[in-house]
Structure 1
Amino acid sequence: LISREISPEQVGLLNDMIQSLQRSRINGIEVALTVITTDKYVPDLALLVHKLVRMENLDALFAVAQMENKVYVIGRSRVPEVDVDAVLDELGGGGHPSAAAATIRGMTLPQVEQRLRDRLASAIRSNRLARDLMSSPPIIVAADATCAEAQSLLRRYNINALAVTENGAADSPLVGYITRQVVEKALYHGLEKVPVREYMSRDVVAVGPLADMKEIQEKIISHKQRILPVCDERQVLGVVTRTDLLNLLVRAPGTEIAENGDVLDGSFGARTRSIAKLMHERLPERLVRLLQTVGTVADEIGCNACVVGGFVRDLFLYRRNEDVDIVIEGDGIGFARRLAQIMGGRLHSHEKFGTAVVILPDGFKIDVASARMEYYQFPAALPTVEMSSIKMDLFRRDFTINTLAIQLNTARFGTLIDFFSALKDIKEKTIRVLHNLSFVEDPTRVFRAIRFEQRFGFTIGRLTASLIENAARMDFVKRLDGRRVFTELRLLLEEENPLALIRRLNDFDLLKVIHPKLTLTAELESAFENVKQVQTWHDLLFLEESYMKWAVYFMALMRPFDRETTETICRRFDLPPRLQRLLGTDRLTVERLLYRFERRLPEAPAALCRALEGLGIEQILLMMALAERTEVKRAISLYVTKLRFVRPAIGGADLKRLGIAPGPVYGKILDAVRDAKRNGQLASREDELTMAAELGRTATAGTSHGKGPHNAGAPGAVRPKETEPAP
C-alpha cells in the first residue's frame, strides 16, 4: 500500500467533511453523508473520501462538494446493500458498486443533496432475509402441553416466547404463540396444568424464508408479536424475535457485512468484518492453509464451518494458540469424516455429543463439533446437549471473550462474527459472563474467570464479580463433583503465577471449597513465592526433567493439614492412589526430613544422597522451597544439580575381570564405590578399580568368616569415610 501525503488545503477540506458528517439509517443500513462548500477547486476529493471512510470505519459514504460552479458527488460503499453506481446513475454519474462519482452543473448544492437523499431512500434495499435472521431450530411447544411444561421450556432455553404447533413438531400446523409473561401469570393463578392452547395468542402471522427486512419489520411492529415464525409450506423453520430485529436496526457503527455468499444461520445481528488479512499476518501459513481446507470441505458437503473460541480470542491478543476448534452448522461428525479422508487423517468420534477429533498424519489435532446448545437440569449439573445454530452454540460459552467465531467457507473466509461484543471486552480487558445465571448453571466458570483474568491481565467486570460472590455465598461451588473442582484447581496451579490466583480465590471466599479452614496466611504466601523461585531455578538448569509443577504448589497448600484431613480432601477430590500418596504421605515425609535437616545436615554427601534418593523431584523442590536455612537449600541444590547424577565409571564387567564372583556382592561394591565417589574420595577410574578390588578381596575373605565387604579391614584399602549415618 502506498500512503499518499495530502496538502494543507486537503487537510482543511477533510476537517470540514468530518465536521459535517451525518449518519442515518435507510432501510436498516447505515449511510453517512457529508456536504461541504469551497471557493476553489481542491483536487483528489476521492482520496479524501477514501480516507474518511477508513478513519470513521463507515459502511457507506456520500460526499457532496460544491467547488466553484460545479457540484461533485463521490460515493464509496463497503456493503452489498449500497450500490453507489446505481445511486449516482440517476445523477448522471457512474462507476461500480463500491465506488462511483458524478459531476453536476446547473443545480444548487441543496437541490443535489435532496435528490441524493430521495434516491438513497428508493435505491437501498436490505438483502437480509428472514432465513438469514431467524433463530433456528425453533423452540416449539405443543398446543396440548401444560403451562408448566411451557415454563420449563422457556427457562431451559432462556427465551421469552414459544411458537405453538398442534403436536409440538416443526412440521405440525402452526396454531399460535405464547409469551413468558402469559405463562408466568397462569402459574401465579395456579393454572400450571391447563393446556397452552387455552391462553396462547391465536392471531399469529408468519413470513416465508425469503421475506425481506421491510416485511419482517412491518409484521412485527403492526401485529405487536414478540416472535415472528418463519415457515415454508411444510414446517416452521425458525423464528425472528423482536430482539433480533432491534439488534440489526441498531447495529453499531464500524461493523461490516461481508459480500454476498452463504451466511450462517442467525449470523445477522452479529457484528461482522473481514479479518482474512489479519489471519495471514498473525498465523503460520500452514495453519491458514489448513483452515482454508476446512472451508473447502464445508462447501463440498454443503454446511457452514467456523473456527471458534480461544483460538480466535488469542488471535487478537497476539498469543500463540493452535488448539483449533471447528463448529459446524449441521452434521459435525459427517464433516469430520470427510475432512479426515481428504487430509489422510484418523477420526475419533462421539456420536452422543456430536463431536469428533481429526488427527492428521503429523499428529496435529482438529476438534470438530456440531453447533449445539446446552441446558442444565439443576445448579452445578452436567449439561444436556441439543443441536442448534452457531449463535446458540456461542451463547452457551463461559465468557464473552470466548464467543468470537471466524467463518471458513470459501466465499466468506476470514469473516469475523461477534454476537456478544467480545471484541469490545477484549479491548477493554474485561471478563464478562453472557447471562446472570452463568455461575449457577456451571460454577466451574468461577475458576475459569479467575484464571483468564490473571493469564491475560484482564479485570473481572463488576456485575460478573458480584455474581461470583453470590455463587460463593450460596455454596453453588460446593455442589460441584469433587473431580471437577480438582481439575479446575490443578489448572489454576499450572498458571504462570499461582499465588495471584490463590489470592483471588481468597478475595471471593472460595478457598473454603478446598477445606473450610483453609485461609491465605503470610506463611502460605511465602511458601508459594518460594515454590515459584525454586521452580524457576530448576527450569533454568535445562535438565529436561518433567514433573508436575502444580503438585508442588498443591503440597504447599496442604501444609496446614494433618494426614487425616489431607486424606479427607483427597477423597473429596476422588484422586487416584498415586496422587493421594504424594499429597499426603510423601508431603509429610518431606516435612519430617526437613525438620531433621534444619537441626543437623548430613556431613557426608553420600549420606545426604541416601536421605534424598527415595524422594520424587516434586518432593525435593518442595523441601528446597520450604527450607529456612541457606545451608539446607545449598545442600539440596547440590544434590539436584550434581550429586544425584554421580555414578561409578566401572560396572559388573569390570568386577568380573577383577576375578570377583558374580552375586549380590556386586551391588554392595558398586554402591560403596558410588558413595566414595560422591564424597570426593575417588578421582579416577583407576581409583574405583583399586577400591573395588580391595572390597572384592574383603568380601571373599569375609565369606569364610561370615563378613561382607564393608566389614573388611585390609590395610591400604580405599574406604569411604562415613561421618553421618544414613537417616
Structure 2
Amino acid sequence: MNIVTTHVNTDFDGLASMIACTKLYPNTKMVLPGKVKRNVKEYISLHKDVLKFEAPSDINDKEIDKLIIVDTASAKRIGSLSRLIQKEVDIMVYDHHPILEGKKPQWRVEEVGATVTILTEELMEKGVDISSFEATSLILGIYEDTGNLSFAQTTSRDLKAAAFLLEKGAKLSFISQFISKPLTENQKSLLETLMDNMENLDFNGWNVVVCTASLDEFIGGVGELTHKLGKIEDVDAVFTLVKMIDRIHIIGRSFNENLPISKPIVEMGGGGHPQSAAATVKDKDLAAIRQEFIALLNKLPSPLTAADVMAQPVKTIGPDVSISEASRIMLRYGHTGLPVVENDNLLGIISRTDVDKAIHHELTHAPVKGFMSTNVITTSPKTSLKTVRQKLTQYDIGRLPVLDDSKKMIGIITRTDVLKVIHGSQAPRWHKPLYTFSDYSMAEPSENLMEVINTRLPKKIQGLLWLIGQKAQKEGFKVYAVGGFVRDLLLGVPNHDIDIVVEQDAISFARKIVKYLGGQIKEYQKFGTATITLKDGMKIDFATARMEFYPFPAAMPEVEETTIKHDLYRRDFTINTLAFRLNSDKFGDFLDFFEGSKDLEQGSIKVLYNLSFVEDPTRIFRAFRFESRYSFHMDDSTMGFLLNALENNVMQKLSGTRIFEEFQAIVLEPNPSVILIRALELGVLDNIFGKCSNPQQLKQNFKHTMDSIVCLKEKGILEKKDFILVYLLVIINSYPKKVFEIILKDFNLDKGSRIIIRNFFDVGLERIEKLKSNKHLDPSEIYDSLNGLSVHSLCAMMAIADNDLLKNRIFLYLEELHKVDVEITGNDLKEMGIKPGPVYSKIISRLRQQKLNGEIHTKDDELNYIKSLDLKERGR
C-alpha cells in the first residue's frame, strides 16, 4: 500500500500536493500527520464527502510499501509517521524548500514557488486527466504559497502550472474564499498585540521590525499577520515571535529581494526560503528566545549601498566646455548626460536632451554652463540601495552623483545600475532572446568559478593563472581573465589562448610576470598591450583596461585607459564580455556586467549597443563566425542593427587589408562555406564587391568548395594556409571584373598570391570546359591543360565546375601525372651531339608526352626515342 503525507500544520500546498499524488500514484491513501491550518480545515470540511483521509494511528506499518512525503523533507515535521523512515519502506519526496543534506537522487526537490507545481507538471507530462474540483484544489496550493503569484520565489513554472489548472476548470472564486479570508477576532486581537509590541530596529543598515506576543491558546495565521505587518510598516523585513501555550513560533518575511532572512531562522532550528522562513521552539522563555534571536539578526548581511553599485571614475566636463564638445564626448563614451565640475565641485548636469536642444538652436559654440541643470540631486556612498532607488523615482532623474563628505564627486549611479542589482540577470534589456542552445556542456555561472576552473582547465593552466593572481596581489595590480577564454571555459570548449586585462599598466605588469616566470616579452606601447612567451612556448596576452572611440564609421579606434567594466563594454558581443578575477584574494570571482552568461546559455549573439556594427563593421564577420562555430544565432535586434549598417554601406568604408584579415579568420573556421553563404544571403559580399552575377550559383560553389578542400586536404595536397586563395578565386569568379583588380590592389596579397590569381583567370577558367567535356583526352593533354596552375586554382576549378569527370582528371594530374618526369638530362643530350639551345626543352617536352601516354618507360626508351627523331627535330 502507498500512503502520502505532508507536514504538521498543513497548508494548501501540502493538501494540494497530496491530492496530486493520488492521481499520479493510484491506490495511494492520504494521511494527515496532525493539525491543519484553519482555512485548509474549512476546505476539507466543505469537501469531506470527496476528500478521504486516514489517521496516522490507523496505519499498519507492515502494509506500507511506499511513503510519499510532500512539501517537506524533514522527518520531524510529519508527526508520528516519522516512524516509517527507519523501516524498509520506499521513500519518495516532493518539495520546494532547499535541502541542505540527505537528498536522494530520485527525490523531486526543485526551486519553484509551490510543491504542487512540480506535481502538476508531472500530471501534464503523463496526460493524467483531472476534474474541476481537483484542479481547484491544486491551484489553491499554488496561489497560497506564492502569495497570489506575487512572492519573489514565484517562477514561470508556477504560472504555467496555474494556467494548465485553469484550463482544467479551476475556480478562482475559491481563492478569495479560502486564501484572502478576513481576519478572525482572535487574529485581529493578535495583530494589535504584535503592533503594540513592535520594535523598529536597524541591523547593518536594514530597517527591520521585531514583534512579540504571548498567548494561552493556539491561533493560526501568524504567517499572514507577519506579511500584513510588513505591508503596513514598509520595512525591509518583519519577524514575529509568538508564544502559544508551550511553543514559540518564529516567523520571518523579507520585503527586500536583496535581504535573505532564512539563515537566522535556520539557526533557531527552522527552515524556509530566503524571503520567507519559520521555526518552532519548544519549552523556552519568550524573552530569552527574543534576546538570542536578536543576536542572530546582527549577523544579517550588510545591504548594498551607493558605493557598491556606483560607476567610477566619472567622466566629467568643465562649465566652459562648448555644446559641440559636450556632444562629441557623449557620443564617444556612450553617455546620455555629463556632470559639470570645477575645482572638484559639482556645479550641475548637462543631459543629451539639453545638448540636442542647444544644437537645434545653432548654439554649438556656447558653453554648457548656460544649459546645465544646477539643482542636482545627489547622494552619499553610504546611502542604501533602497534610498537610491527612491531618489531616482521620486525626482524622475536618470543619474545620481555620489559625493563624499567633502562634497567631491566620487561616482555616479544610473537607472540601469539600479535595475541590474534589483533584477539580477533578468534586468530589462533592449534585446529579447529568441533562440535556445543546448549542444555544449554549459557550466552553471555562479559568483565564483573556482569549481569550473578546477574541473575544466589543465592543471598547468590552473597553476599559471594562480601564480599570475598571486603576483598581481603582491604588486597591487587588478587583473582579470577575459573574453573568449572565459566564454569557452563556460561552454566546455578547449581554448588555451589566455587573454588578461590589467586595470593599470598592462605592460608594466607583464614585465613583472616575465621576470617572475621567465620567458620573453613583446610590447606594443601604442595600445598598452604586451604578449609574453613562456619557456615552454605558451603565449599570454596582456592588455590595459581601455575604452575605444571610433572617430568615424569603420575607423581604427582611439584608445584610453579605464576600468574593467568599460573595457568589457567595448567588446563585440555580450558573450565575449565575461571575465573572472585572478587576484588571489578574490580568485575566480565571476564578472558578468552585460548578461553574457545568459546569452551564452541561450545561444544568442547580441551587440552591446546599436551602433556597434557601424563603428566596427568587421563585427559582422565575427557574428557569422560565432553563429557557425557554436550553432548560435543573432537575436532580432542585433540582426536589425546589422541590416541597417549594410543599408548605410558600412562595408565599403573598410580597407581591403581589414577585409582580407577577416576572410583569413573565416577560412580557418571548421566550415567557412557556411559563413560565406550567410554573408552572401544577407548582402554582405554584395556590400563589399558589388552585385553578384548569380547568387544561387555562388552559394552552390561555396558548398562545393568545402567538399573540394576537404578532399584535397585528406590527400595531403592542400593545407589550411591555402584555403584563403581558393575561396577568393571562387568569389572573384561571381562578381564584376573590377573586383579582380580591387582584390589584387587592396587585399595586401603577396606577389605569389597575385600571380596565382592572375594565372587562374588568364588560363585556368578557359580550360574548365575542355576538362569536363566527354571528349577523350590523353594523359598528356590533361597534363598540358593543368600544368602551371597552382593547387589553389585546381581546387577552385573543381568547386566551380562541380563535374565528376573534371574532378577525376584533376585527381589524376595531382596524384600521378604531375609527378612524371624524364630521366634524360642536358648532359645526355650534349653527349649525343645535340647542340644546346631551345631544342632541349622541345625534346624534353616530347619525351614527357610519350611517357605520360605510356609509350616509353625507361631511360633507354627515352634514348631510343631521341634517336628515332629526324635530324631537324634533334637540332642537327
Name the TM-score, length of structure 1 as normaliser. Answer: 0.75
**Structure 2 equivalent of residue 315 of structure 1:** 489
SS of the residue 1:514 aligns to? helix
Q: Deviations over 1:691-726 (max 9, x none)?
A: 466579899xx9xx7874xx79xxxxxxxxxxxxxx
1:172-211 residue pairs with structure 2 within 5 A? 172-204=344-376
Q: Whole-Å Cα distance in 2 between the matches of residues 49 and 219 of structure 1? A: 39
Query: Which of 697, 711, 724 lines up with 1:523 in the alignment?
Result: 697
Q: Which amino acid aligns with 1:474?
A: N
Q: 2:329 aligns with which of 153, 156, 170?
A: 153
CA distance in 1 between counterparts of 2:845 and 2:240 reads 94
Unmatched runs of 5 consecutive residues or more in structure 2: 18-70, 86-92, 114-151, 154-236, 272-276, 428-444
Greater shift, 396-405 or 222-231, is seen at: 222-231
Amino acid at match of 1:238: G
Q: Number of residues paired by the alignment?
A: 652
Alignment RMSD: 5.1
Cα shift at 1:678: 4.5
SS of the equivalent of 2:689 reads coil
Q: CA deviation at 1:617?
A: 0.8
Answer whether contact 1:515 1:569 (CA < 8 A) is retained: no
Cα distance per residue 1:463-488 (max 9 Å; x no partner)? 11122221122223322223323333
Q: Which residue of 1 aligns with 2:342?
A: 166
Residues 336 and 210 (structure 1), Cα distance of their counterparts in 2 relative to 1, 3 Å cut? farther
Deviation of the 1:424 alpha carbon: 1.7
Cα distance in 2 for residues equivalent to 1:433 and 1:389: 20
Partner of 1:459: 633
Aligned partner of 1:138 in structure 2 is 314
Please name the residue that 1:262 is paired with: none
Q: Residues 621-632 of structure 1: matches in 2 within 5 Å? A: 621-627=795-801, 629-632=803-806
Distance change (3 Å), C-alpha of 1:152 and 1:561? closer
Among candidates 671, 675, 682, match of residue 501 of structure 1: 675
Separation in structure 1 between the aligned mates of residue 450 and residue 846 of structure 2, nearest angstrom: 67
User: 1:587 offset after TM fit, Å?
Assistant: 3.2
Counterpart of 1:56 in 2: which secondary structure? Answer: coil
- Aligned partner (choices 505, 510, 521) of residue 331 of structure 1: 505
Post-superposition CA distance 1:404-429 (Å, at most 9, x none): 11222223222222111112212222
> Structure 1 residue 476 and structure 2 residue 650: aligned?
yes
2:730 to 540, 556, 575: 556
Distance 2:691 2:425 in 1: 49
The answer to whether the aligner puts 1:56 opposite 2:111 as a matched pair is yes
> Which of 238, 247, 251 is 2:411 aligned to?
238
Report the counterpart of residue 227 of structure 1 in structure 2. 400
Shift of 1:70: 6.5
Separation in 2, partners of 1:554, 1:345: 39
8 Å Cα contact 1:130-1:230 kept in structure 2: no
* Residue 541 of structure 1: how far off its partner (Å): 1.6
| Maintained 8 Å contact 2:677/2:702 | no
How many angstroms apart in 2 are the aligned matches of 1:345 and 1:14?
67
User: Secondary structure of 1:274's partner?
Assistant: coil
- Does residue 1:424 correspond to 2:598, yes or no? yes
Q: Deviations over 1:307-364 (max 9, x none)?
A: 1112222223332222211111111111111112222121111222111111222322
Matched, 1:105 2:105: no
CA separation of 1:179/1:522 partners in 2, compared to 1, >3 Å: closer, same or farther? closer
Q: Rg bigger for which structure?
A: 2
Structure 1 contact 126–213 (Cα < 8 Å) conserved? no
Between 1 and 2, higher relative CO (CA 8 Å, sep ≥ 6) is seen in 1
Q: Mean alpha-carbon deviation: is it higher for 274-283 or for 512-521? A: 512-521
Structure 2 counterparts to residues 479-494 of structure 1, below 5 A: 479-494=653-668
Name 1:433's counterpart in structure 2: 607
**Structure 2 residue matching 1:250: 3-state secondary structure:** helix
Q: Tell me, yes or no, if the aligned pair for 1:655 and 1:666 is still in contact at 8 Å.
A: no
- C-alpha deviation, 1:582, in angstroms: 3.2
Residue 369 of structure 1: how far off its partner (Å): 0.7
Equivalent of residue 554 in structure 2, options 380, 383, 390: 380
Deviation larger for 293-302 or 604-613: 604-613
Preserved CA contact (<8 Å) 1:323 1:366 = yes
User: Cα distance 1:88–1:608, how it changes in 2: closer, same or farther (>3 A)?
Assistant: closer
Q: Distance in 2 between matches of 1:418 and 1:355?
A: 23
Contact kept, 8 Å, 1:307 with 1:408, in 2: the verdict is: yes
* Alpha-carbon distance change, 670 to 286 in structure 1, aligned in 2, over 3 angstroms: farther
2: distance between equivalents of 1:559 and 1:472? Answer: 23
Answer with 221-230 or 628-637: which moved more. Answer: 221-230
2: CA distance between counterparts of 1:18 and 1:253? 33
What whole-Å deviation, never above 9, does each CA across 1:656-698 have from its counterpart, x for those lacking one? 9x99999899999887776665544666xxx43x346657989
The alpha-carbon distance between structure 1 residues 125 and 215, as it changes in their structure 2 partners (threshold 3 A), is farther
Amino acid at match of 2:459: E
Secondary structure at the residue paired with 2:677? Answer: helix
Question: Any conservation in 2 of the 1:567–1:580 contact (CA below 8 Å)?
Answer: no
In the TM superposition, residue 605 of structure 1 has moved relative to its aligned partner by 3.1
Q: Counterpart of 2:317 in 1: which secondary structure?
A: strand
Q: Write the distance in 1 (CA, Å) between the matches of 2:819 and 2:661.
A: 34
Query: 1:231, 1:238 within 8 Å by CA — same for their partners in 2?
Result: no
Compared CA separation, residues 10 and 308, structure 1 to 2 (3 A):
farther
Aligned CA distance change for structure 1 residues 603 and 222 (closer, same or farther; 3 Å): closer
My pick for the range that moved more, 586-595 or 600-609, is: 600-609
Deviation at 1:141, TM superposition (A): 0.5
1:508-657 aligned within 5 A: 508-543=682-717, 545=719, 547-561=721-735, 565-571=739-745, 573=747, 575-599=749-773, 603-627=777-801, 629-646=803-820
* 8 Å CA contact retained: 1:468, 1:508: no
Amino acid at match of 2:418: L
| Cα offsets for 1:70-129 (capped at 9, x unmatched) | 779899xxx99869776767x5999xxxxx9986114899x9999999888765343645
Maintained 8 Å contact 1:439/1:468: yes
Q: Provide the secondary structure at the position in 1 that maps to 2:314.
A: coil
Retained in 1: the 8 A contact 2:264–2:293? no
1:320-359 mapped onto 2 (5 Å cutoff): 320-359=494-533
- Post-superposition Cα deviations, 1:206-226, rounded to whole Å, max 9, x if no partner, equal 566666646755766677662
Q: Which runs of 5+ in 1 are unaligned?
A: 1-6, 21-32, 95-99, 255-270, 713-727
Q: Supply the distance in 1 between the matched residues of 2:647 and 2:270 (Cα, whole angstroms).
A: 68
The 3 A distance-change label for structure 1 pair 80 and 305 is farther
Aligned-partner SS, 1:306: strand
Q: Is the alpha carbon distance of 1:222 and 1:580 closer, same or farther for their aligned partners in structure 2, counting shifts above 3 Å?
A: same
State the distance in 2 between where 1:495 and 1:248 align.
Answer: 38
Query: For 1:505-552, what per-residue CA distance to the aligned partner results, in whole angstroms no more than 9, with x for missing partners?
Result: 343233322332215533323322222221121122245745421321
Report the identity percentage. 31
Letter in 2 for 1:455: R
Partners of 2:588 and 2:735 in 1: CA distance:
53
Aligned to 1:414: 588
Change over 3 Å in CA distance of 1:253–1:498 after alignment to 2: closer
CA gap 1:513/1:126 in 2 versus in 1, 3 angstroms: same
Corresponding residue of 1:366: 540
Find the aligned partners of 1:659 and 1:108 in 2 and give their Cα distance: 125
